[in-house]
Structure 1
């Protein structure tokens, strides 16, 4: 039995992976390679086979002494087709005295404080890590399984069937088993009541399907951050605060409104457990608590103090070196679907632990659980289990000679971001400061044309930990003209690969740098999508490129060339200025080009300012919300005063007197949904009755993807009386169908005593300036009938002659695009050298190339089933592709071979 009176999770300084040594060079340094593709220091590439499956090791690199990052390409057959998947494995030598595994938890080592894997690694000094246990996405962010860190039981395993855990004993031997929690609390009179768990949130137990906290007693330590112990438990708690083994407070039928102190714990009870407390406990009484883990399979008890670490997981995946039967249903985790996966296992001899992640991104298609099982056995896993996957799958590692762990690969989240997770499994080094072993050039391996990048010379010691090389002076050079040395850094000149080298004395280190060309881009766009078409207009046009490899990068202004249609304009330092508008033009286009790749066009058109809301007849609710909860106030539509007494205004009253930290007072439009604003809005104006409070006044918009866009209206609010505020929205990044969600005041914690805590502001006449996209600035209403093989068509029942007939070839209809655009509005251009057709209509720009199925639509690379063709010296385009891009309906009459286009 193990007595635990304070199970607080403690982090120790020995985890820090930033071991540095100052070095200087007086002569030759022996540079030894430490990563491998092909054959070399680590020996030949390894291949593992299992039936039709094949795992090929692409590379391996030391992270620290006793830990390597291995990269694999796994080939399997899926739905009759061969599929290649990328998988990353951190191999940890459990016999190495300088490396160990431990659980990474949320912020400051506490549960209920989810954090990204990289955030946990940085906070704890881990040199590598992966995401860990499963948790409820709608819950408090607590792992479902048990957690042990440095001998301390942080969370107990939930009562769920088939859930396994991975652990490492103090002697370094690994184990995977299914555990249950056993514990008790004993009064000084010898009365005992069972404990059901430690630091657990509410859940439904299995197989009995009951509430986890009903008639049960749980213990909560300072490792539990939240004051809800737990949230939404469907039970009313009785709580007991214990410090120094002595009861300090008993709260019957109510939670103690405080966090657990660092030197104590709180017993949380309900039903029969609460009755036991009421009948047998009192303030000043001594208590003893004890708890341990028990193997479900063997019945053997396990003292958490015997473990270096333990982390929960899901189903067993590998047993005795073979795929095992799933110990838990895999339906809820999409086990049969190919997604990102995380797993952990160990070798037959117990020497190695494997931290495994299967990638799901633009370069890799993910794995099913069955495929993951086969991959694990192929690389030597003897026993292994499934960890949380999908959007949670994340791996970080510290590249050789670097100081911090970074993302190993792009996650499967849409934007490649990291999900905040309940816990992770970290790799830590305790190696002493070593001697310099080698040098490495550090910096971006891929850059853009025109981009200037600084590279540095970094070193690593004989334990593969970073060494401070600031005292080393080096000369730099490149082996070709793809990049150039500026005297301080390298600049991308043209697409291609270059080898850059740093030389110090007789020592040198090199790395390959790729300058990305237009062929490497998937899309090119700006946050500015619309602007007013008038001479003198000046807007910021920052450009962002999404690469085929998945990364998103800012494109230097000097990397771009620009094309303008309908106007004369220029771009300098990322700012577009309209010099003049072509006679009769109602719409103009500014298109950025990067190495021949075209951006999403910036559309400039005649704009109009219109009242969006004057609060005279608002047909949706407007409500108040304050943060923190102590912030109070009222948002209401009232009759104006003074020169506004004949109209209604929106009044926002606020009181920031209570609560701490930054404070917010919101006037919310239409609940949390917001109200749609005109598409392409380039400016917003609003009449504001100020109160000279010096608080910030802001507007919050929401794009269709749910991402918030914040715009400052007054920073600070330093006026009284009515004033019209106008703000530029061109660079805000608002997308079509964006909504205005809130107008609000911000009272920052810093300098709070200098701003008013109570006051009232009012709003009226919210206006938006947006483009006029009708007539010849967009797709016009028309009905066009064409017939295959005939050199004529009808436009709104009026017949006209055309010089080339529509063509039907291989079930695809091709048409001369000029006549479609003449009828529906727009223009086209033909580049005879590149055999490229550019179609412009309203806010749509389409680029097609003869003989190529790949095309770009508004700066994004797309793929078509067919390509444009040349017939009798004229370029014809696939009708369906163009009509869908422009929003034109197409009907095909098989008997007459006639085509009807309508918008």
Structure 2
């Protein structure tokens, strides 16, 4: 089970009303039953704050989101580490803005959704992810939650877990709360309540490790699931209460329905169930009373007095200084993406704080987060859920919906979570204050962008300008204007201007050229070479800044070698194959930059479907305390009830270190992948553990390659994964030794320690089975200054001699290809050499120290050059990229090439 501490949402939509009860909040948390370790063990009364190194914080800019809310961007430097942080500051003195909690789909627990999804469903201007939760649990927060003034969840019985709240009169507070409550029968008998809408967890400080043992819990319509809860290790007796009257009692079994609106279910076990049997009956009244209680002051808090409340983790800042940690933070340590919330000394400003961890930002330690919060004015604040859950979305000025503010630890993917903290505008419609152009700031050649002139009012909320007539113009020929459709024509930056009456705006639009691209990826790198073949060939451009963009058909030019065909609507169709052709190439170019689809007689090869496996499959691990099983079993969830490889694992005994659960093929030997594989496909049955899934290869040179199958297992049920192997440098034939689940030490609170995954239909795209097989082999020799070469003992005349310059041998590539197979092409307009050999497309440009190999830009120490009208290429660079071996004899000034 995974110990993610909870988050959820308290804002009601569409007039939905949950049962309102009084409450007092204590927050304590531990993992869900049967899922793993307790959230904290051996807790102390206080934890010393980490030593923080001196850092510098620079404000990079700010953007108004709505009246009373501003997005501010910061950079924090600590030694050589640079971190980007984003802060939403909310002014509680502004009556047109408020904070509230959002939760899963339809504002219910056990129905997780992303931060962006919650913002969209509830109309938030901005949002950050919220409370901790148990990843393997049903989807309820660990802490208490009040949304829209309604109590939705109570604090868990855990130590040192703080919460953030805002009262209805606009006062922010950060405190640690406990819950006190009871139910009273019609005859006056009373039994204590343990909480509301809680997943099963391990309480702290009590006699039991089972949260629902001998306990009574209330479940309201905010709980979507029928089981209340799963994995509780207890059999319930449940009582349906509608308008304060008992309408149904289900003894030793749950009521088989969700909670109707206007009702609640009292879920009991053990002593609590005995109270139900002895004291309650259908038709009688039942009264529930409860409250939140501050663990620090003992003051009681009526949930009716709160606008919102959200749980968190340790206290981070107190009195404008970094505080000691109030809870063991070892499980959330390391340098990660972070989320936090706090308020200013004068109670005016709320700060929603995030620290990025992605390709542009290093993340923060908890001590760095404390230091940063203090530097921006936080007086008191606490830690919210972080790591892979850290997400911020915001609505840009004049836009109608939110977008991701920065890439998460997993790119543009947003983790599904249990609650989020949202910023809402309550302002009336104002008058038009300004306009802006909405649309892409970058385009690819041939791509048509849709642009709009959008407005915002005096409260910085969007204004509908759908009926406004707008005129457009571009400052250069990079863009072609046709009404509001702007088409990219050639690389360059242009100013796009829009005008409507007296209102006007402009923005810079850059058309990307080949120099902006680091890689072109063909979605299908290999395909069968046969007339009638039709395959999807999507192309993605990876830009120099690391971002990716789908390349539209209109931006690509296709060339075919060895066959006739066409590409239309992203589909490659082979109409005929040239006589004698064994390997064909479909070359896609964007502004000259190339990638290739290799077509050959052997394409996808089924490697293992586990139906008739004759070699052993075994489980192993790197940590003795990790247990598990790897076996071939029948899976009833597959379409044909096929056999699959199932990997069960339990890592709870090894928490605190990096752990692996391996399914090994054929002992330590592995199973052979006989030829060069461009990609790998496999079906995986996920367990939503958020663990890392990998495969281990050992190539023919003894090198080990660790291939990422999925950075996190965030799905349940079967899913097909397609994995590009070209970047791993695997020398084939190779052995696939094992597939395995990884749980690294950093961020272990975010991943389940136990789980089960399954594998089926492992296949490889092996164009080399025919494209590389059959290529000529042997030895060739060339001497500097001599217009000849010897191939397998036979001397052949050439019309150009190798040249030695600055320690590099240059040769006319055509003669090497004549000896070892392949073909070369020359584009005089682009000064470009194109080499096709086996499964590889290599392109070089005269005077440029770079090359493009199968769509990837690579750097070389030397460049091709033209001598006496002949183009010469650096032999070693080219030959080694084509899989040839080059040796230099300095005494005889001779090069030897082998294949």
Same fold (TM over 0.5): yes
Map residues 733-772 of structure 1 onto 2, 5 A cutoff: none
Q: Residue 417 of structure 1 aligns with which residue?
A: 413
Structure 1 residue 607 displacement after superposition: 5.3
Question: Using the alignment, how far apart are the partners of 1:331 and 1:795 within structure 2?
Answer: 65
Question: Using the alignment, how far apart are the partners of 1:229 and 1:422 within structure 2?
Answer: 16
1:161 aligns with 2:159: yes
Question: Using the alignment, how far apart are the partners of 2:305 and 2:896 within structure 1?
Answer: 78
Q: Residue 76 of structure 1 aligns with which residue?
A: 78
Structure 1 residue 230 displacement after superposition: 0.8
> 1:696-751: CA deviations, max 9, x gaps?
xxxxxxx955899999xxxxxxxxxxxxxxxxx9xx989789x9xxxxxxxxxxxx
> 1:538-574: CA deviations, max 9, x gaps?
6553333233445443322221223333345554554
When structure 1 is superposed on structure 2, of 280-289 and 528-537 the one drifting more is 528-537
Q: Residue 66 of structure 1 aligns with which residue?
A: 68
Question: Using the alignment, how far apart are the partners of 2:876 and 2:557 within structure 1?
Answer: 29
Q: Residue 209 of structure 2 aligns with which residue?
A: 210
Question: Using the alignment, how far apart are the partners of 2:302 and 2:887 within structure 1?
Answer: 74
Gaps of 5+ in 1: 1-6, 16-49, 621-651, 655-663, 683-702, 712-728, 740-765
Question: Using the alignment, how far apart are the partners of 2:886 and 2:160 within structure 1?
Answer: 55
Distance 1:265 1:801, change over 3 A: farther
Distance 1:610 1:875, change over 3 A: closer
Distance 1:356 1:184, change over 3 A: same
Distance 1:220 1:572, change over 3 A: closer
When structure 1 is superposed on structure 2, of 362-371 and 230-239 the one drifting more is 362-371
CA contact (8 A) 1:785 1:898 kept: no
SS at match of 2:274: helix
SS at match of 1:777: coil
SS at match of 1:305: helix
Q: Residue 117 of structure 1 aligns with which residue?
A: 115
SS at match of 2:437: strand
Question: Using the alignment, how far apart are the partners of 1:304 and 1:541 within structure 2?
Answer: 57
Question: Using the alignment, how far apart are the partners of 2:531 and 2:351 within structure 1?
Answer: 63
SS at match of 1:160: coil
Q: Residue 769 of structure 2 aligns with which residue?
A: 774
Q: Residue 446 of structure 2 aligns with which residue?
A: 450
Question: Using the alignment, how far apart are the partners of 1:669 and 1:794 within structure 2?
Answer: 56
Q: Residue 176 of structure 1 aligns with which residue?
A: 174
Structure 1 residue 837 displacement after superposition: 5.9
Q: Residue 601 of structure 2 aligns with which residue?
A: 606
Question: Using the alignment, how far apart are the partners of 1:194 and 1:72 within structure 2?
Answer: 48
SS at match of 1:667: coil
Distance 1:370 1:470, change over 3 A: same
SS at match of 2:56: strand
SS at match of 1:553: strand
Question: Using the alignment, how far apart are the partners of 2:238 and 2:783 within structure 1?
Answer: 82
1:387 aligns with 2:389: no
Map residues 560-709 of structure 1 onto 2, 5 A cutoff: 560-567=556-563, 569-571=565-567, 574-578=570-574, 581-582=577-578, 584-599=580-595, 601-606=596-601, 666-671=639-644, 705=710
Question: Using the alignment, how far apart are the partners of 2:160 and 2:805 within structure 1?
Answer: 63
When structure 1 is superposed on structure 2, of 585-594 and 105-114 the one drifting more is 585-594
SS at match of 1:375: helix
Equivalent position to 2:344, from 343, 347, 369: 347
SS at match of 1:121: helix
Distance 1:898 1:102, change over 3 A: farther
CA contact (8 A) 1:889 1:901 kept: yes
Question: Using the alignment, how far apart are the partners of 2:576 and 2:830 within structure 1?
Answer: 29
Equivalent position to 1:546, from 538, 542, 545: 542
Structure 1 residue 413 displacement after superposition: 1.3
> 1:590-648: CA deviations, max 9, x gaps?
1111123222x11122359999999997989xxxxxxxxxxxxxxxxxxxxxxxxxxxx
- Cα root mean square deviation, aligned: 4.8
Distance 1:860 1:322, change over 3 A: farther
Distance 1:222 1:833, change over 3 A: same
Question: Using the alignment, how far apart are the partners of 1:403 and 1:614 within structure 2?
Answer: 48
> 1:278-326: CA deviations, max 9, x gaps?
2222222222111111222222221111211111112222222222222
Q: Residue 191 of structure 2 aligns with which residue?
A: 193
Structure 1 residue 362 displacement after superposition: 2.9
> 1:682-706: CA deviations, max 9, x gaps?
9xxxxxxxxxxxxxxxxxxxx9558
Question: Using the alignment, how far apart are the partners of 1:381 and 1:523 within structure 2?
Answer: 43
Question: Using the alignment, how far apart are the partners of 2:414 and 2:524 within structure 1?
Answer: 27
CA contact (8 A) 1:106 1:422 kept: yes
When structure 1 is superposed on structure 2, of 201-210 and 452-461 the one drifting more is 201-210
Count residues in correspondence. 745
> 1:625-677: CA deviations, max 9, x gaps?
xxxxxxxxxxxxxxxxxxxxxxxxxxx9x9xxxxxxxxx99324323779999
CA contact (8 A) 1:774 1:780 kept: no
Question: Using the alignment, how far apart are the partners of 1:770 and 1:522 within structure 2?
Answer: 24
Question: Using the alignment, how far apart are the partners of 1:464 and 1:816 within structure 2?
Answer: 65
Structure 1 residue 365 displacement after superposition: 2.9
SS at match of 2:639: strand
Equivalent position to 2:366, from 346, 366, 369: 369
SS at match of 2:378: coil
SS at match of 1:145: coil
CA contact (8 A) 1:788 1:806 kept: no
Map residues 40-55 of structure 1 onto 2, 5 A cutoff: 52-55=54-57
Q: Residue 407 of structure 1 aligns with which residue?
A: 404
Question: Using the alignment, how far apart are the partners of 2:538 and 2:84 within structure 1?
Answer: 33
Report the TM-score when normalising by structure 1. Answer: 0.72
CA contact (8 A) 2:813 2:872 kept: no
Structure 1 residue 371 displacement after superposition: 2.4
CA contact (8 A) 1:118 1:406 kept: yes
Distance 1:889 1:184, change over 3 A: farther
Q: Residue 135 of structure 1 aligns with which residue?
A: 133
Question: Using the alignment, how far apart are the partners of 1:418 and 1:513 within structure 2?
Answer: 28
SS at match of 1:226: coil
Structure 1 residue 789 displacement after superposition: 10
Q: Residue 309 of structure 1 aligns with which residue?
A: 308
Structure 1 residue 149 displacement after superposition: 1.0
Q: Residue 330 of structure 1 aligns with which residue?
A: 329
Question: Using the alignment, how far apart are the partners of 2:461 and 2:15 within structure 1?
Answer: 14
Q: Residue 688 of structure 1 aligns with which residue?
A: none
1:498 aligns with 2:471: no
Distance 1:508 1:344, change over 3 A: same
Equivalent position to 1:359, from 352, 356, 360: 356
Q: Residue 146 of structure 2 aligns with which residue?
A: 148
1:557 aligns with 2:553: yes
Distance 1:837 1:235, change over 3 A: farther
> 1:855-892: CA deviations, max 9, x gaps?
5443244568x56687999533666x975x66789999
> 1:126-149: CA deviations, max 9, x gaps?
111111111122111111111111
> 1:836-867: CA deviations, max 9, x gaps?
66554433334466887765443244568x56
Question: Using the alignment, how far apart are the partners of 1:308 and 1:293 within structure 2?
Answer: 14
Q: Residue 726 of structure 1 aligns with which residue?
A: none
1:222 aligns with 2:224: no
Q: Residue 23 of structure 1 aligns with which residue?
A: none
Structure 1 residue 824 displacement after superposition: 6.5
When structure 1 is superposed on structure 2, of 797-806 and 418-427 the one drifting more is 797-806
Question: Using the alignment, how far apart are the partners of 2:327 and 2:894 within structure 1?
Answer: 59
Question: Using the alignment, how far apart are the partners of 1:217 and 1:799 within structure 2?
Answer: 93
Report the TM-score when normalising by structure 2. Answer: 0.72
Question: Using the alignment, how far apart are the partners of 2:366 and 2:793 within structure 1?
Answer: 60
State the structure with bigger RCO (CA 8 A, min sep 6), 1 or 2.
2
Q: Residue 750 of structure 2 aligns with which residue?
A: none
Distance 1:611 1:222, change over 3 A: closer
